[in-house]
């Protein structure tokens, strides 16, 4: 913390969704430990890429799954260190299958289009996501 000086003090972000905290959240990036900002095999790592991309694209609201809530703390620190704007965050519940596992492309899970074709309404999906 000492090496970060004033960038560490008073870091907050606005959570407008279903995060474990709601409203103004005090960022605690130290809970994640050391993070990777770059790798030889993939170049820039996720945390650095998303904060820079969001800033370059003028993103003001970030909507993502609740599984990425903790990553927001790290991203908030990077935004402060790089003097980038801080968007409002809205984390939502994850859609899960009957087995309780999250629906993910990498697992070839049922798609949104398939859910809708099976008769799941937009309202039902919004409720399940907590929106």
Write out the catalytic residue numbers: 105
Residue 117: exposure state from Cβ atoms within 10 A (0-12, 13-18, ≥19): exposed
Name the helix (H) or strand (E) containing 12.
strand 12-15
Cβ atoms 89, 44 nearer than 8 A: no
Name the helix (H) or strand (E) containing 91.
strand 88-92
């Amino acid at each position: 913390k000492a090496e970060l000086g004033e960038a560490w003090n008073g870091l907050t972000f606005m959570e407008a969704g279903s995060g474990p905290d709601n409203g103004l959240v005090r960022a605690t990036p130290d809970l994640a430990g050391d993070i990777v900002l770059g790798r030889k095999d993939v170049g820039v790592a996720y945390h650095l890429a998303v904060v820079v991309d969001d800033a370059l694209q003028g993103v003001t609201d970030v909507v993502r799954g609740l599984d990425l809530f903790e990553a927001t703390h790290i991203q908030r620190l990077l935004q402060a260190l790089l003097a980038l704007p801080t968007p409002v965050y809205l984390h939502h519940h994850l859609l899960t299958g009957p087995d309780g596992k999250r629906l993910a492309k990498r697992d070839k899970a049922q798609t949104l289009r398939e859910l809708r074709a099976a008769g799941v309404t937009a309202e039902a999906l919004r409720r399940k996501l907590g929106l």
